Structure 1
Amino acid sequence: MNDTVTSNDGTPISYLKLGEGPGVIILHGAMESARSHFELAKALSDSFTVYLPDRRGRGRSGTYGPDFSIRKEVEDVDALLSKTNSHFVIGVSSGAIIALNASLDLKAVHKAIIFEPPLMTDNLISADWVDRYDREMSAGNVASALVTGMLGTQMGPPSLQRMPRWFLIMMTKLMMTLEGSSGGTEGPIPMKVLAPTLHYDVQLVIEMEGMPNDLLNAIDINILLLGGSKSPPYLKAAVDRLEKAIPNAKRVEFEGLHHGATGNKNRGGQPERVASEVKSFLGLE
């Protein structure tokens, strides 16, 4: 079922709803949309009512607006929690940055599951690539911009970092051609359509860079930290930092999985495995 909630600044936030039980909101990451975690939602739907929002700038949701910040994303979550009477939040990647801030600021959040937020910890990654990505997007070189983003965020197997750039661009163009240019109602939004949203996800990462441990120490709810054993070192370091800083944090690492662990199976996810840990943490398995 599709529905919409209006955020504090009037922006409509579209979401999918499935299942029955206590409400859980899943916040997707960069280069994703509501449908990217549909299989995880389905695996949870026997115990929960699951809400899958399209974050700002995606699908039927409204645009970012001129003063976009993490505060806007947290206000979107607040509106969803209020309308659905939900108290559990799952945040994936950049969505996990939003979930962390919601856990700190919103009393309606009673428990949160945080999967590999891309925090710039221990100088293991930087955002130096963003200017190049923005130039390539402005010039209409979408495939090249996506390769810049993929390399900059260290996504995919390490072997990709060693491949010639021209080859990666060629393969990305082929993948975009196979996907098509517009998303249907039953599948994720194509890469070409999502490409401009990456700029704003990186904006959240940069905004979070200076978040002091004192704020993380102030998160007073139970947190489940999730990660994959094959994820990039900077993501593991981010989870390490959260585990040390958040008082009521439990950590689970999925052996053999990577940053796509929570996603649909066609993107390398194992949603049933993740759902089992979520249910256990929320007391329903």
Structure 2
Amino acid sequence: MQTIFSKDGTKIAYDKKGNGQAIILVAAAAADHRDAAQLADQLANHFTVYNFDRRGRGQSSDAATYAPEREVEDIQAIIAAAGGKAYLFGSSSGAVLALDAASKLGEQVTKLFLYEPPFIINDSRSPVPADYVSRLNELIETDRRSDAVEYFMTAAVGIPAEFVEYMKADPSWKNMERMAHTLAYDGRIMGDTQSGNPLPTDRWQVNVPTAIMTGENSEPLFHDAAKALADLLPQAEHRLLAGQDHSAVVMAPESLASIIVDFLRIPVAKQEVNLSD
């Protein structure tokens, strides 16, 4: 992997492949560049893809203190390495980070692709607890990394507790434990957007073509969130990925790459489009 240094001196590691317009992949919570490796391969047929480890994950370093603004600076450093302008793709909470970056970096971000930002804006599911971030930090401070991942899975993702024990047997659980301290980072990025209240109208100033994508089989909260966000952003479209759910980045990279390429080729203003596999 190649490395650059962010504004605060944090080392950010990334893979670069392909040719064409730069697109930067922003990972979700408990994920690193490996989760999007197959998506990067698919997109590399059309773009120069920058697939990076967010700070505190994989081969990137971290800082003594955290603020969401530092992660925007990390993305800005990659954009600079890419020539000063780039598209952003983000999944789940990484989509919210990508949205924040597009809002703060202005003309440096020229198009935006967001897969299932996990906003909770109504009663489609229970809100994330108000003390979610502080509870995560308490678990990390006492080195209860597995408990932190379990809390993330049950309180934020909404997985029933009885299923978590089965998940712990999968090798991916250990990888999530290694990144457990960054779960609170994503909680900070989400802020109060998982409280069951409508989206804020003043947080994002984004006026670039934006595809907000959801899997056809995903829970209602993702569809409600995508439609609400599309209503807020002046150049946004909501697109459906047929037959898929929240795991599409890992499980359906070819279909997800196809919807991104299609969005660039056939822009359709302010309407919902259903793309089959």
TM-score for the superposition, normalised by structure 2: 0.84
- Encode CA deviations 1:208-237: one digit per residue, 9 max, x unaligned: 679731444x31111011111333333322
Aligned length: 259
Contact 2:39 / 2:254 at 8 angstroms: preserved in 1?
A: yes
Partner of 2:32: 33
Q: Distance in 1 between matches of 2:224 and 2:3?
A: 36
Contact 2:139 2:145 in 1 (8 A): yes
- Quote the offset at 1:207 in angstroms: 6.2
Structure 1 residues 129 and 208: CA distance shift in structure 2, 3 A: closer
Per-residue CA deviations over 1:184-225 (Å, capped at 9, x if unaligned) read: xxxxxx122122221211111116679731444x31111011
Question: What do the CA deviations read for 1:27-80 (whole angstroms, capped 9, x no partner)?
Answer: 0100100111010110111111100010010122121431x2221111111111
Query: Which one of 198, 222, 237 corresponds to residue 235 of structure 1?
Result: 222
The alpha-carbon deviation at position 284 of structure 1 amounts to: 9.1
Partner of 1:168: 164
Cα distance in 1 for residues equivalent to 2:172 and 2:114: 29
- Residue type of the partner of 1:203? R
The separation in 2 between residues aligned to 1:30 and 1:8, in whole angstroms, is 22
| Distance in structure 1 (CA, Å) of the matches to 2:155 and 2:173 | 25
Give ranges in structure 1 of 5+ residues lacking alignment.
182-189, 264-268
> How many Å separate the matches in 1 of 2:80 and 2:245?
33
Q: Give distance in 2, aligned partners of 1:172 and 1:137.
A: 20
Of 75, 80, 83 in structure 2, the residue corresponding to residue 82 of structure 1 is: 80
Instruction: Name the Cα RMSD after superposition.
Output: 2.5
Shift of 1:281: 1.9
Distance 2:266 2:2 in 1: 26
Give SS of 1:79's match.
helix
CA contact (8 A) 1:129 1:149 kept: no
Paired with 1:206 and 1:215, the residues of 2 have a C-alpha distance of 11
Secondary structure of the residue aligned to 2:35 is helix
Aligned to 1:145: 148
- SS state of the match for residue 153, structure 1? helix
How has the CA–CA distance of structure 1 residues 127 and 206 changed in structure 2, closer, same or farther, with 3 Å as cutoff?
Answer: farther
Q: Which of 186, 197, 200 does residue 182 from structure 2 map onto?
A: 197
1:212 aligns with 2:200: yes
